[in-house]
Amino acid sequence: MASKLTTGLVGLAVEAHPHKKLKILYETILKVVSTMPASAGYRKFTEENIKQRLSAVNTTPDLNQLEEKLRPGQLEEAIELAKSELSLAKNLVRWKPWEPLISEPPEGQWEWP
């Protein structure tokens, strides 16, 4: 059960079961990124980051300590960030940015003055 009455942030309600919610989100993110090529930079960084966060969720029962480990912000904010990360990961699987370009870019497109 929630240990606080409000997050103090407009539109962000207190999460009654943050450990459970975060664990589900982090495990889902890991499943999604595992479908990406192992060489994909996004997969490498995200797996490392999410595994650290999941470890903190699994090993830290105290909500205040968990908030400190997952910095910055409150657990409810970490949940919102995880939802956004999951959405991005799903989009990247669909977009496949690791695949080669369909055609060569115009000359000078990637140059900066």
pLDDT, tens digit (0-9, with 9 covering 90-100), for 73-107: 899 999 999 999 999 999 999 999 999 989 999 99
Q: Give just the sign of the alpha carbon dihedral 10, 73, 88, 61.
A: negative
Answer yes or no: is pLDDT of 2 > 80. no
pTM score, two decimals? Answer: 0.88
Instruction: Please check whether residue 42 is in contact with residue 36, taking contact to mean a CB–CB distance below 8 angstroms.
Output: yes
The angle subtended at Cα 41 by Cα 102 and Cα 24, nearest 5°, is 110
For 22-55, write each residue's pLDDT tens digit. Answer: 999 999 999 999 999 999 999 999 999 999 999 9
Given this model, what pLDDT does residue 113 score? 80
- Tokens representing residue 25 in the block: 């989100």
Answer yes or no: are the C-beta atoms of 26 and 36 closer than 8 Å: no
Beta carbons of 26 and 50 less than 8 angstroms apart: yes
The pLDDT value recorded for residue 4 is 85
| pLDDT band of 71, cuts 50, 70, 90 | confident
The confidence score (pLDDT) of residue 1 equals 47
